[in-house]
Amino acid sequence: MSRNPKKPTKSKRLKLALTERDKWKQILKEVEKAEAPVSVLHAITVNLIDGTSVDINIQDLLSEGVEPAYLEEEISRKLKELDGIVEDVDFLISIEHVAKAIQPATDSLLKNL
């Protein structure tokens, strides 16, 4: 008695229709936020051990004319000063600013493919 083995079936891959924003969200999940340049941050929330939080709106400061290098230096200095009372820091990345910064370079690299 001969058995007719089943042919292996190819798995069908699910293609997701992601928006540009969704694509950048997915990419940003892989980024180490503490290493992100200040110009792509939306805000920083400093959570203190007493339960209070301090919000720093980075984009507002940049739009007021504060230089990114100066802002980054001041934030680092202040966080070092407050190290003993800081529980953690949340970095909120601006997807739009990351896309604006990276998309032209990505387009340039991929144009000849």
Q: How much is the average pLDDT of 79-93?
A: 91
State how far Cα 11 lies from the chain centre.
32
Tell which wins on pLDDT, 9 or 100.
100
State the pLDDT confidence band at 111, using cuts at 50, 70 and 90: confident
Is pLDDT of 105 > 80? no
β-sheet bridge partners, residue 91: 44
pLDDT given for residue 96 in this prediction:
82
**pLDDT for 3-35, tens place per residue?**
555 555 544 444 445 566 666 566 656 655 556
Mean pLDDT of the chain: 77
Contact 68, 76 (CB under 8 A): no
Q: Are strands 53-57 and 41-48 parallel, antiparallel or unpaired?
A: antiparallel
pLDDT given for residue 11 in this prediction:
46
